[in-house]
Amino acid sequence: GIGGIYRHSTNFRHLTGDAVAIALKHGIETEHVNYVQIHPTTLYSKEPEDRSFLISESVRGEGALLYNKNHERFVNELLPRDLLTIEIRKQMEKDGTDYVWEDMIDRKELEEHFPNIVEHCKEMGYDVYTECIPVVPAQHYFMGGIKVDLSSKTSMDQLYAIGETACNGVHGKNRLASNSLLESLVFAKRAAKEMTEQFDRTKIEEISYREDDYTDKKKLAAEYKALLKAEIARENEEAQKHSA
């Protein structure tokens, strides 16, 4: 995952896309690095190190409403994720705020269907039965990454990539879930099978590198973050040109 490079993300903060950045740095082929999914409603936190807590679409599906700073409804809450995110960001910019308000559904629905959300909000100081909660769009899934074939092999000889760092083309641009299951149960098995078959032909080479290039972790993290953001921006620009 790459959530750690975003201010708001449902990912753990240490997931900063290092493998994809290393691929970019060393000329290993990548694909659709700009396929980054944003979830429109996560609980807002002032602390940048906090992992964003997901306020499920199901809550809006059951009737939760979104309000601006004056507690006025401003959008159709059932829009697709990407379109709703755009509208929320527009409203935040218009209001000059870092979040919008979400008004939860009735008590019975919350208790029966969303006890974890109720409990987390309570831990963060919000009583969802009596008040709105602040929500903000946050990075959620990453569908792009290091380009691999159906055995998870990259463009570099003897290098395989599996998991959210890999892009095998299965999930498209805006998946809902199941990347972890497919990677674990299908592509990891395919990769292991091919690596086993190729094992006797594995080349072993002496690798030389400068240790100084890897001792400054903050500098390295900043370099990787810059590489990723630049590639995402470049691919977004290309996509806009083609759609114009």
State the catalytic residues: 81
Q: How many CB atoms lie within 10 A of CB 168?
A: 23
d(CA 159, CA 195): 10
60 vs 45, 55, 56, 63, 65, CA distance in Å? 20, 9, 7, 5, 7
Query: What is the helix, strand, coil percentage profile of the chain, to 5?
Result: 40, 15, 45
d(CA 67, CA 63): 13
**In 3D, which of 66, 67, 42, 44 has the Cα closest to residue 56?**
42
Contacts of 164 (CB under 8 A, 6+ apart): 1, 141, 142, 145, 179, 180, 183
Q: Are the beta carbons of 6 and 146 closer than 8 angstroms?
A: no
Q: Which residue type occupies 127?
A: D
**In 3D, which of 169, 165, 190 has the Cα closest to residue 180?**
165
Residue with tokens 């400054």: 216
Label residue 61 exposed, middle or buried (CB < 10 Å: 0-12, 13-18, 19+): exposed
